[in-house]
């Protein structure tokens, strides 16, 4: 079944404390090449079929529930035939 | 005077908020997130806790609860609404208050007695404080960092909508040490610290006078009663 994938990231201008903690952990492991890690969210919506109407609906969900526009940005909404994780 | 306290799945401080309302001299009314009924209350409190396990974002799922439709209508019609900690996060997620709350900048959960300055004493929840009163009430959160874009911060500061500011130490990285804000009308107030845990001697923060004697939070609840009496 097709899957609609929504990706949300914390706004670039805001501190991402989770990402900062992971950056610190990488550096403690000896990594010297990664200067920053930022952590976002990925939503996978399994649907029967993808229609323009549904995509518009998902855009609304992405804007109003999956993300908070004060602190996050919806970076992409894509359709995958099958998600292989 | 009846003050509703809404219980959400994962609310922790609903009973404490009800008790604070009673100690302040009003009648607490327990409300349920899944109802579309405010039971005719005169004011509302969204209590602290970890609604829906803080999944998605703190307060985000609760902000879409059935009862929030009535809360938003009531807030827009001028009813006093107070959000404490997780309740503040819900009010921000419901866009009844500006800005958002993110994980503390240092990554740690903080639990401490926190000094605050009350910078706006004309809101429905702060009218019983003296101007610039300095108070101490408990603070306990992992995601209390208040953020907003620079224009919003300038507007909040310029319009006097910053109600509480952290004193001494900024415990979570909040912009401009902001601990609590109000809406333009002054009826909706949200703050991260917990006034309901500083309402009865013996159970509050330590003071110079005696251990656990701090009751600085009580005036927040008596303020709402006064605001309602003045209507």
Interchain CB contacts (distance < 8 Å): A and B: 39
Q: Give the CA distances from residue B132 to residues B128, B154, B222, in Å, rounded to whole numbers and listed in that order.
A: 12, 20, 18
Minimum CA–CA partner of B58 in chain A:
A68
Q: How far apart are the first and last CA of chain B?
A: 12
Q: Which of A43, A60, A68, A74 to mutate to test the interface with B (most CBs of B within 10 A)?
A: A68
Across the interface, of A14, A21, A68, the residue whose CB is closest to B57 is A68
User: How far apart are the C-alpha atoms of B43 and B22, rounded to whole Å?
Assistant: 13
What is the pLDDT confidence band of residue A81, given thresholds at 50, 70 and 90? confident
Instruction: List the structure tokens of B4.
Output: 């509703």
May I ask the CATH architecture of the domain B2-229? Answer: 3-Layer(aba) Sandwich (3.40)
Please state the domain count of chain A: 1
pLDDT value at A82 more than 90:
no
From B172, B173, B176, B151, select the one nearest B162 (Cα to Cα): B176
pLDDT value at residue A84: 55
Active site residues of B: 85, 194, 196
Query: Where are chain B's structural domains?
Result: 2-229
Minimum CA–CA partner of A66 in chain B:
B56
Q: pLDDT tens across B136-188, in order? A: 999 999 999 999 999 999 999 999 999 999 999 999 999 999 999 999 999 99
Q: By residue range, what is the domain housing residue A12?
A: 3-80
Q: Give the CA distances from residue B78 to residues A31, B38, B120, B122, B195, in Å, rounded to whole numbers and listed in that order.
A: 55, 14, 17, 14, 22
Task: Report the CATH number that the domain containing residue A20 is assigned in CATH.
Answer: 3.30.1280.10
Minimum CA–CA partner of B144 in chain A:
A17
Region A35-45: mean pLDDT is 97
What is the pLDDT confidence band of residue A78, given thresholds at 50, 70 and 90? very high
The full 3-state SS of chain B, as one line of letters, equals CEEEEEECCCECCHHHHHHHHHHHCCEEEEEECCCCCCCCCCEEEECCECHHHHCCCCCCCHHHCCCHHHHHHHHHCCCCEEEECHHHHHHHHCCCCCCEEECCCCCCCEEEEEEEEECCCCCCCCCCCCCCCEEEEEEEECCCEEECCHHHHHHHHHCCCEEEEECCCCCCCCHHHEEEEECCCCCEEEECCCHHHCCCCCCCCCCCCCCCCCCCCHHHHHHHHHHHHCC
> Shortest Cα distance from A30 to chain B (angstroms)?
21
A chain contacts of residue B64, beta-carbon cutoff 8 Å: 65
Region A9-32: mean pLDDT is 94
> Shortest Cα distance from A84 to chain B (angstroms)?
23
Across the interface, of B99, B103, B104, the residue whose CB is closest to A70 is B99
Tell me whether residues A10 and B57 touch, CB distance under 8 A: no
Q: Which residue has the tokens 């799945």?
A: B9
Domain assignment of residue A85, yes or no = no
Region A52-65: mean pLDDT is 97
pLDDT value at A85 more than 70:
no
pLDDT value at residue A83: 54
- Reading chain B (231 residues) residue by residue, the pLDDT tens digits are 999 999 999 999 999 999 999 999 999 999 999 999 999 999 999 999 999 999 999 999 999 999 999 999 999 999 999 999 999 999 999 999 999 999 999 999 999 999 999 999 999 999 999 999 999 999 999 999 999 999 999 999 999 999 999 999 999 999 999 999 999 999 999 999 999 999 999 999 999 999 999 999 999 999 999 999 987
pLDDT value at residue A14: 87
Across the interface, of B100, B104, B173, the residue whose CB is closest to A71 is B100
Tell me whether residues A70 and B149 touch, CB distance under 8 A: yes
Domain assignment of residue A35, yes or no = yes
Tell me whether residues A18 and B64 touch, CB distance under 8 A: no
Domain assignment of residue A54, yes or no = yes
pLDDT value at residue B208: 93
User: What is this model's ipTM?
Assistant: 0.87
Tell me whether residues B103 and A14 touch, CB distance under 8 A: no
> Shortest Cα distance from B220 to chain A (angstroms)?
28
b/e for B20-47, b at 16 or more Cβ within 10 A?
bbebbebebbebebeeeebeebbbbbbb
Strand-strand pairing, B43-46 and B2-7? parallel
pLDDT value at residue B231: 75
């Amino acid at each position: 079944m097709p899957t609609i994938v929504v990706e949300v990231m914390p706004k670039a201008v805001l501190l991402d404390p989770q990402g900062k903690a992971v950056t610190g952990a990488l550096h403690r492991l000896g990594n010297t090449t990664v200067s920053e890690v930022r952590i976002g969210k990925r939503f996978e919506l399994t649907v029967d079929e993808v229609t323009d109407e549904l995509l518009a609906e998902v855009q609304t969900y992405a804007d109003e529930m999956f993300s908070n526009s004060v602190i996050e940005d919806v970076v992409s909404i894509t359709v995958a035939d099958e998600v292989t994780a | 005077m009846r003050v509703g306290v809404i219980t959400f799945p994962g609310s922790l401080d609903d009973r404490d908020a009800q008790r604070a309302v009673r100690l302040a001299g009003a009648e607490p009314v327990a409300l349920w997130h899944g109802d579309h009924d405010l039971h005719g209350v005169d004011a509302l409190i969204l209590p602290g806790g970890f609604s829906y396990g803080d999944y998605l974002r703190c307060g985000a799922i609760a902000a879409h609860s059935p009862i929030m439709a009535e809360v938003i209508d009531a807030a827009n019609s001028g009813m006093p609404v107070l959000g404490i900690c997780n309740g503040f996060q819900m009010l921000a997620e419901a866009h009844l208050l500006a800005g958002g709350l993110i994980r503390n900048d240092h990554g740690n959960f903080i639990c401490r007695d926190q000094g605050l300055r009350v910078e706006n004493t004309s809101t429905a929840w702060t009218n019983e404080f003296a101007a610039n009163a300095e108070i101490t009430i408990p603070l306990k959160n992992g995601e209390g960092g208040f953020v907003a874009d620079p224009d919003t911060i300038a507007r909040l500061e310029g319009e006097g909508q910053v109600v509480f500011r952290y004193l001494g130490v900024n415990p979570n990285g909040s912009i401009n040490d902001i601990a609590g804000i109000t809406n333009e009308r002054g009826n909706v107030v949200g703050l991260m610290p917990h006034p309901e845990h500083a309402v009865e001697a013996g159970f509050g923060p330590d003071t110079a006078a005696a251990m656990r004697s701090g009751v600085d939070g009580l005036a927040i609840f008596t303020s709402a009663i006064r605001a309602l009496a003045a209507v």
